[in-house]
Structure formats: structure tokens, C-alpha cells
Amino acid sequence: MKENSIHTEDKLICIQGNSYYSEGEVYTVGRIVNDKYFQLLTSGNDDHWYVTSDDQGIYVSFDTSTATNNKAFFDKIA
């Protein structure tokens, strides 16, 4: 993974929320899948969504009609 990349236990703040993630809330990074995908924990009981980190930023994308917006964006907390 490149320098300044995401690591397990890093904290991310939601900068653009949706039905699942709230703007301003802080979430914890779970297991790293590869240099583009990782888990973002949503609760204390191992619930998570997979996050993409690419040229668009750090985001969770939802292909569902239940999410008001289909993407939630995050920034890493330094």
C-alpha cells in the first residue's frame, strides 16, 4: 500500500453522509482487503461495509434504492 494509506484501526470522519453513514460521525477501519478496498466498521458487533479508496476519494457506494444518496464520502483523521 502507498504511503499515507489506510490501516486497520484508522479513524475516518464522514464528510458526506447518506442513509447509512452520518456526516460528522467517526468510523473505524476494519480489515484491509487490498490497496483499493477495506472494511469500515459500522457498529460494535462487526457490522461493516466495504470502502473504496481511489481517484474519487474514500467512499462507500450503495447500489440500492434504500439509500437516499448512493455514496458516502470520508476523510482520514490525522
pLDDT one-digit tens code per residue, 62-76: 776 554 568 899 999
CB 20 within 8 A of CB 42: yes
Residue boundaries of the structural domains of the chain: 11-76
pLDDT tens, 25-54? 999 999 999 988 999 988 766 788 899 999
The model's confidence at residue 2, banded by pLDDT at 50, 70 and 90, is: very low
pTM of the model: 0.81
What the block records as the C-alpha cell of 75 is: 476523510
